[in-house]
Structure 1
Amino acid sequence: MTIIRIVCAAALLFGASAAAQEGGKAIPETIVSLGTATPGGGFPVYGDAFVAAMAAADPTLKIAPRNTKGSYENIPLLEAGTLDLGLVAGEPAYEAFMGIGRKPTPLKIFSAISSNPGMFVVRADSPYKTIRDLVGKPVAFGAKGSGLPILARYVLDGIGLDQEKDFTAVYLDRAGDGPAMVLDGRVAALWGAGIGWPGFKAMSESEGGARFIAPDEAEIGRIRAKHSFLKPMTVPAGSYPHQDRAIASLGSWSFVLARADLPDDVAYRLAKTLHGAEADLGARLPQAKETTAENTVAAAPRVELIHPGVLRYFKEIGLVK
């Protein structure tokens, strides 16, 4: 069963912009479902900006967001056809495409979202300065079903640590619960990723302040030697309150994935609308400035993993041959 619907928009869009009219006739309204994640995390925030930018660019395109448990629920929902689009972190997407622990997925990339350098955040007054200082401590690794714990697993494995054995691993029911748990001492640290990530922002804005812990240069080298799909990334200085220096880390790109049978003409129309609205999307959410056609091509493990309808648009603008 698929979610995309096309309905007559005459009544819904009466008096709306002229974009809803073509030759004096109402343009059919296209409704597309979008799976995000649990409230308080980065995906719902991105989803809100994505929906608003798409609606502003084309009022006959309706993106219907849906809170889910995150990447690991979005993938099977997309495969089952109960979602049209879904936000998926880089590591679950990589495992799905490569068939790690499962059959390779037929899902396609609709767009890159943003780069996601991973790191820990602790209270500014905590004694923890390195990743190994956190060994044996309770650490919140993110929401159940999200991609964050998987990124942490790869990063820690690269430096010889086991997420379950070397830490008291805590998994959240809601992504937004993490900062409060660090602030009141229930956990020593919170793992997260990305620029503008809500959990990092909440910690940075807390009364006592926060400090970030990322792999050091030698650890980044060890991690990349074992897990080469993770890429060096930088959190620029000033990305969060009181962060006065750039932070080097590593991570991957998160994606908007599409169900494999999303019609090519719908994917083409969505892609043309999205990339025509890149400036508006970036103005609504700073980290969404990375959602560009160029980044989608660069971030895709293979160009053939991009949806054919999206590739049609990319070929039209001369981005791919």
Structure 2
Amino acid sequence: MRRVGVVCITLYMILALLGGSAAAQQGETAITSATTSKATISLGTATPGGGFPLYGDAFAKAMNAGDPSLEIVPRNTKGSNENIPLLEQGELDLGLVAGEPAYQAFMGIDRPPTRLKILTAIFSSPGLFVVRADGPYKTIRDLVGQTVVFGAKGSGLPIMSRYILDGLGLKQDTDFKAIYLDRAGDGPAMVQDGRAAALWGAGIGWPGFVAMANSAGGARFIAPSADEIAMVRAKHSFLKPLTVPANSYPGQREPIASLGSWSFVLVRETLPDDVAYRLARTLHGAETTLCQTLAQACETTAANTVAAAPSVDLIHPGVLKYFKEIGAAK
């Protein structure tokens, strides 16, 4: 087993390190400490150019400023589908995970149920297609048979689109010429230069949508209609109606109704309760700073975490203790 330091945050953890206790052995992870008491905590994000690295940098900056004895270090990964096993193996302390892969992991869909826990909900992710404004495509059905970029390999975006399209009776890999990227940031250029008809993405302030909206030709967003939203939810009720507010992107003058899920910061199972408590306290003390740093991070609140979690039992016990103290949970 590789040897990794234990964070010297509390007396409990110091004693665990000195005593070589079973609890310390079980808690060996990517958390490290040097000769000082500063705790270095790894945070898995995703490939460059996507929303998770953008959020991860803002999250780390706000957390490190809120508690100078913390050093949260973002790390690019392949995204949600890599972050989950890395957390389970103790290779990450924290990881950003989209709602759909988190749901599958918690429910044990196509895999054993995970024992990972929620630190916080980070933002809602309404799913949308984006096309060039001068293109002919106006509905999801218009895109059938066309080349569509569904996101980076290993990210949660292709999983969300697969559920939504399935609810409409469409198959992502047969009804569309599906492209999956090595780097999330490569998608907008493929639509702009005509290699693809559309790009799938999700969220408010998502970099791919920003790039498309700021391009010379502008962008048109395509979301499920009201009837299509009802069809999807009849089959996949865990997907929630969500709205992209007007003016979230340049040229987008009206709100866009869609559906999607909440993304989370998940933590490894062995993260001690007092560490999780401290992270929650620091995070929610820095909510205003995080919101000022990144607009979509304004949704990172204790109240949203309690509301977005599939069950409060999935919130880390240390986090839940803090939430109860501040009245955010019963």
> Normalising by structure 2, what TM-score?
0.91
In 1, Cα distance between equivalents of 2:120 and 2:172? 30
Whether 1:249 and 2:258 are equivalent positions in the alignment is yes
Aligned to 1:205: 214
Match of 2:20 in 1: none
2:31 maps to which residue?
Answer: 4
Q: CA shift at 1:64, angstroms?
A: 1.1
One of 95, 105, 109 as aligned partner of 2:104: 95
For 1:140 and 1:38, the matched residues in 2 are separated by 15
Aligned equivalents of 2:301, 2:34: Cα separation in 1: 29
Task: Figure out how many residues of one structure are paired with residues of the other and give that number.
Answer: 303
TM-superposition CA deviations, 1:200-247 (whole Å, max 9, x none): 000000000000000001000000000000000000000000100000
Match of 1:13 in 2: none
* Cα distance per residue 1:166-220 (max 9 Å; x no partner): 0000000100000000000000000000000000000000000000000001000
TM-score (norm 1): 0.94
Q: Residue 18 of structure 1 corresponds to which residue in structure 2?
A: none
- In structure 2, the residue matched to 1:309 is 318
How far did 1:30 drift? 1.1
* 5+ residue gaps, structure 1: 10-27
Distance in 2 between the 1:288 and 1:189 partners?
A: 26
Query: Which residue number in structure 1 is paired with residue 185 of structure 2?
Result: 176
Q: Tell me the percent identity.
A: 74
Shift in Å at residue 56 of structure 1? 1.1
Distance 2:260 2:149 in 1: 18
| Cα deviations by residue, 1:30-88 (Å, 9 ceiling, x for unpaired) | 11110000000000000010011011111111101110000000000000000000000
The residue that corresponds to 1:283 in the other structure is 292
1:22-41 residue pairs with structure 2 within 5 A?
Answer: 28-41=37-50
Partner of 2:249, secondary structure, is coil
Provide the residue aligned with 2:274 in structure 1: 265
Unaligned runs of 5+ residues in structure 2 are 1-27
CA distance in 2, matches of 1:289, 1:149: 25
Deviation at 1:7, TM superposition (A): 3.3
Match of 2:149 among 137, 140, 145: 140
- How far off is 1:315 after superposition? 1.2
Query: Displacement, 1:6?
Result: 3.1
Q: Distance in 1 between matches of 2:289 and 2:108?
A: 36
Determine whether 1:292 maps to 2:301: yes
> What secondary structure, in the 3-state scheme, does the structure 1 residue paired with 2:179 have?
strand
Q: Greater CA deviation, 288-297 or 311-320?
A: 311-320
Alignment partner of 2:123: what SS? strand
The one-letter amino acid of 1:289's match is C
Q: CA deviation at 1:104?
A: 0.3
Q: SS of the residue aligned with 1:270? A: helix
Please give the residue correspondences for 1:85-234 in structure 2 after superposition, counting only pairs within 5 Å: 85-234=94-243
SS of 1:233 mapped into structure 2: strand
